[in-house]
Amino acid sequence: MIFLVIGLGSMGKRRVRCLQTLQIKDIIGFDLREDRRLEAKNKYVIEVIASLVDIDISKCDAMIVSTPPDKHTYYVKIAIDYNKPVFVEASVIKEEVTEIQRYNVNNTFIAPSCTLRFHPIIQDITAIIKSGKYGKITNFSYHSGQYLPDWHPWERVDQFYVSNRLTGGGREIVPFELTWLVDTIGWPQDIKGCFEKTIDFGINIEDSYAFILKYPSMVGVVIVDVAARYAVRNLIINLENAQIQWRWDDLCFNLYESESNRWIKYSQPEFNSESGYNRNIGEKMYVDEIRCFVSAIAGEKVYPNTINDDIKVLELLNIIEESDGGF
């Protein structure tokens, strides 16, 4: 298979690594920036191009769009024009995703990213909840915190897309987290929250979101921020007959069984992290995500996320913002 990777920034390079891990060798990388093209060519020994007119896209088997979110639509439309299966990174602009859905009249296969659904601990937690073994969820709390300047230590935050308020760091991470939460816990019937600029990064973005998710007989509280000086993902889920606790630093999660009055430890499989990234951001979940995309192209698996799902998640983001006066 021949893969065309659009965008050779941090995520584009990661997707190249994913493909090579899967023993896919025919990779063409496209980026407007010469420095990124040269880096990808030298580091991964792939063909790189400065313009899409330099190749015959019809000869490619699939595309991966790893550009900033506000550039997704343009390149996904090209994939649709050629009816090429396309994987696209996490979205944050509902209008853009809705336009992709409207444009896709030929039903080209589009796979929106849902990386955390492939995290081994989240998969185990999801399986436990959906088994019903410990009854229904009563409530949950979750905090996802990062520090924005740590994302790209090699450049200032005002030099890449997170400095754009529409695609800013705090705002972008909300749908990234909701995409797995709605799969693991379910779609809320209502959501309300607030968002705020709490720290000065020298850019005009809101860095912190806090919201409440309401279900028929359950409630959840979530904080997402990019102002946390130490990166965290902390989750507590209370079920009728158990409690789940996850701190991603622990490389495991713990489950308390009320009936047996005991704690059960579920260890996380060991994985490798790319140099320069938080040790908890393993490459495996990204590889598994692309593996699923490739398998879905071959008709061997069903990819777990859709454009419709993305639109629904982004509607939740918009409702959060509207409940605090609008974006």
| Per-domain residue ranges of the chain | 2-112, 117-274+307-322
Please give the class, per CATH, of domain 117-274+307-322.
Answer: alpha beta
Query: Is residue 237 scored above 90 in pLDDT?
Result: yes
pLDDT band of residue 172 (cuts 50, 70, 90) is very high
Query: Is residue 273 scored above 80 in pLDDT?
Result: no
pLDDT band of residue 279 (cuts 50, 70, 90) is low
Q: How far apart are CA 55 and CA 78, in angstroms?
A: 13
Q: pLDDT for 19-38, tens place per residue? A: 999 999 999 999 999 999 99
**Residue 250 gets which letter from DSSP?**
G
Q: pLDDT for 33-90, tens place per residue? A: 999 999 999 999 999 999 999 999 999 999 999 999 999 999 999 999 999 999 999 9
Half-sphere exposure (Cβ direction) of 19: Cα atoms closer than 13 Å: 24
DSSP per residue, 140-205: EEEEEEEEGGGT-TTS-GGGSGGGSGGG-HHHHHHHHHHHHHHHHT---SEEEEEEE--S--SS--
Query: Is residue 278 scored above 90 in pLDDT?
Result: no
**How many other β-carbons are positioned within 10 Å of the β-carbon of residue 112?**
26
pLDDT band of residue 275 (cuts 50, 70, 90) is low
pLDDT band of residue 269 (cuts 50, 70, 90) is confident
Say whether 117-274+307-322 and 2-112 share the same fold.
Answer: no
In Å, what is the CA distance from 145 to each residue of 118, 139, 219, 296?
19, 20, 21, 32
Query: Is residue 120 scored above 80 in pLDDT?
Result: yes
pLDDT band of residue 268 (cuts 50, 70, 90) is confident
Maximum Cα interatomic distance, the chain, rounded to a whole number of Å: 65
Please give the class, per CATH, of domain 2-112.
Answer: alpha beta
The separation between the first and the last C-alpha atoms of the chain, rounded to the nearest angstrom, is 42
CA triplet 302, 28, 65: central angle to 5 degrees? Answer: 50
Task: Decide if 263 contacts 254 (C-beta within 8 A).
Answer: yes
Query: Is residue 312 scored above 70 in pLDDT?
Result: yes
Q: pLDDT for 94-108, tens place per residue? A: 999 999 999 999 999
Q: How far apart are CA 211 and CA 214, in angstroms?
A: 10
